[in-house]
Amino acid sequence: MNSEIKPESEKSLNFIEVFVEEDMKNNRFGKHIHTRFPPEPNGYLHIGHAKSICLNFGLAQKYGGLTNLRFDDTNPVTEDVEYVDSIKEDVRWLGFDWGDREYYASDYFDTLYAYAVKLIEKGLAYVCDLSVEEIANNRGTPTRPGVESPFRNRSVEENLKLFEEMKNGKYKRGEKVLRAKIDMASPNMHMRDPILYRIIHEPHHRTGNKWCIYPSYDFAHGQCDSLEKITHSICTLEFEVHRPLYEWFIKELEIFPSRQIEFARLNLTYTVMSKRKLLRLVKEGYVNGWNDPRMLTICGLRRRGYTPASIRAFAERIGVAKRDNIIDIAVLEFCIREDLNKTAPRAMAVLNPVKLTLINYPEGKTEMLKGKINPEDENSAFRDIPFSKHLYIERDDFMENPPKEFHRLSPGKEVRLKYAYIIKCVDVIKDASGHITEIICTYDPETKSGLPQANRKVKGTIHWVSEPHALKAEVRLFDRLFLKENPDEVDEGHDFTENINPDSLKVAEALCEPSVDGARNLQSFQFERIGYFCCDKDSTPQQLVFNRTVTLKDTWAKISGKM
RNA sequence: UGUCCAAUUGUGUAACGGUAGCACAGCAGAUUUUGGUUCUGUCAGUCCAGGUUCGAAUCCUGGUUGGACAACCA
């Protein structure tokens, strides 16, 4: 090894990319790859799905292939078109395009039925009359072999007849199932005569009443991959034990040999990820719906102000591997700050106001000051910010008896009002209970931004808004939904809801500079020195509403917290 | 008392028998009209025990720890 800088093309690969490159080199699938994203339309997509979406679409992009969107809709009991639409919207919003390759497992029901018949004819599948309980009991346990079904050795003819009768609706749910005939003593539970078809007298969101038997996941997923000529079928670790079955079907059905590769699903600190728990948060009213900005659903993140680019960057940054992982939520927050810092227009807003009056500034005068819309952008345009005698500043930016580390306003001290003047506190007015109601300052006209005197050193710079020009806005201050890194860490008999943060949402009235007027839904701003905020869909011209996406890094909070 | 999978700084992720690197987080400093950004520096790691080898995070054996698997869910 020498110290040469590695070119981009030699950047390290994740283990899936290693497999793909090996396969390409060995010509396993020819010169191209083809992936798929296979959601079940029974819930909303979350950040964990985003990882999978970025992985599947990202791989295809990298190696010049295509990605299909395929709905795994083999269970009409739980699935619905409502979810199909939201899933498509979310994938598209994330920035991925599946072209015209929108497929459904239900598109293949006829073929799947024919595959089942083929297995019966080969003597590899049989109709079983055992009840749910009996099948479960006969399956054994991971450490104890199962026992064979008494119906295991029916003739091919009888199986064919019975299976057709199942399809024709002759039997009720639970009366019969079609099972593969593999090995009831296999150490792998999934090989113990798995169920291929079950009877469900329920209309399907796409096939209506055509079918009353539906294929199981194992009998549908892999075959759909195969029918679509998917080269690399990427799924999460819990399907690893299904892989022998996946490959058994490919072999016995003699179909296109898609390759299943498993990776570790995403976990994040201070949140829950399972569909079941997310559903409870919604159903039990801990949050206001699936798109509540505190939810790590794609639609929740969108409403919170996360951008597609930030989520893609996150997926890239966390990597892919097979070991269980818990990603620090700070990584996600870093990614959105990184993006918004470069793109979000700046504005000043005061969230917790206290009045400030400039005694030597003319009453009734208004000046228009200039502020860069985005200082990160060299070519940034300017915005107009009105200034007057009567202002509001952040209550936290004033301290009567400050420690020496405090760089803001205090009696007798100077501070800069951003884009405006250097001011000096000369008096403090309090009410009967000692609560500060107004801060009295003088301003130095020589220090207006742009003037030579403005370059004078001062300890700090604070934001402000002009009282007569301020725009009121509702701000929704979101914080993490759970108090513990691992919300599932609870005492016996309790559950994760115990760890919900009671202060995950605080609503305040902010006073904003006029440039935020007319903000559109999903439009992001940086409220200077505070954080990134995004206009909510509840916002109207009469009542602006902003969601706090994430705070700015707050070094002062860290310092003051230690004191 | 089973099968499969995994184990690298606090958290992720590289290193494919040859200098343990990168990112986030932390800490310290510089710059700054955002206590933001940016920049610099810094802390900190190969689960354990054997073996193979000139050389092991990497290969082998045994252990330990964690995870998955016993829906007619996916």
CA distances (Å), origin A446, targets A119, A348, A421, A440, A558: 90, 23, 8, 19, 35
Give the pLDDT mean for A77-89: 95
Please tell me the distance from the alpha carbon of residue A193 to that of residue A138, in angstroms, as a whole number: 10
Q: Are residues A313 and A241 in the same domain?
A: no
Smallest CA–C1' separation from A139, nucleotide: B70
The residue from A437, A469, A501 where one domain ends is A469
Query: Three-class SS string for A124-174?
Result: CEEEECCCHHHHHHHCCECCECCCCCCCCCCCHHHHHHHHHHHHCCCCCCC
Catalytic residues of A: 40, 265, 275
Q: What are the CA-CA distances from residue A526 to residues A153, A393, A410 (Å)? A: 70, 17, 26
* Angstrom distance (rounded) from CA A20 to CA A64: 12
Q: Is the CB of A442 under 7 A from strand B?
A: no
Nucleotides of B under 7 A from a protein CB: 1-8, 10-16, 18-19, 21, 23-27, 33-38, 66-74
Final residue belonging to a domain, choices A240, A263, A286: A263
Query: Which amino acid is located at A241 in the chain?
Result: V
> In Å, what is the separation between the CA of A317 and the C1' of B23?
7
| CATH classification at residue A387 | 2.40.240.10
- Looking at the fold, whether A123 and A48 belong to one and the same domain comes out as yes
Q: What range does the domain containing A414 cover?
A: 346-469
Contact criterion met (CB below 8 Å) for A102 and A63: no
Task: Compute the C-alpha angle A417/A423/A425, nearest 5°.
Answer: 120
The rounded distance, in Å, linking the Cα atoms of A217 and A241 is 13
Residue A318 lies in a domain: yes
Question: What's the Å distance between residue A326 CA and nucleotide B68 C1'?
Answer: 17
Are A462 and A536 in the same domain? no
A60 and A122 inside one domain: yes
Contact assessment for residue A131 and residue A174, using Cβ atoms and an 8 Å cutoff: yes
Contact predicate A394/A352, CB 8 Å: yes
pLDDT of residue A3: 33
Residue A10 CA to B16 C1' — how many Å?
A: 14
Please tell me the total count of domains within chain A. Answer: 3
Contact (Cβ atoms closer than 8 angstroms) between residue A310 and residue A338 = yes
Which CATH number goes with the domain that contains A225? 3.40.50.620
Mean pLDDT of chain A: 95
Q: Is the pLDDT of residue A321 over 70?
A: yes
The verdict on A199 and A76 lying in the same domain is: yes
* Cα Rg of chain A, angstroms: 31
A38 and A161 part of one domain: yes
Residue A228 in any domain: the answer is yes
Same domain, A75 and A123: yes
| pLDDT recorded at residue A7 | 45
In terms of domains, do A311 and A214 share one?
no
Shared domain for A465 and A483, answered yes or no, is no
Determine the average pLDDT of the residues in A246-259: 97
Residue A25 placed within a domain: no
Query: Of A448, A469, A490, which marks where a domain is finished?
Result: A469
Q: Is the CB of A125 under 7 A from strand B?
A: no
In a domain, A269, yes or no: no
| Average pLDDT of the segment spanning A345-372 | 98
Q: Does any domain span residue A23?
A: no
Residue range A269-290: average pLDDT? Answer: 95
> What's the confidence (pLDDT) of residue A10?
58
> Are A95 and A163 in a shared domain?
yes
For residues A439 and A505, state if they share a domain: no
The answer, yes or no, to whether residue A493 has pLDDT greater than 90, is: no
The answer to the question of residue A319 being in a domain is yes
Cβ contacts of A297 within 8 Å, gap of 6 or more: A44, A45, A46, A47, A278, A290, A291
ipTM: 0.96
| pLDDT at position A288 over 90 | yes
Residue nearest to nucleotide B24 (CA to C1'): A331
Indicate if A72 and A221 belong to the same structural domain: yes
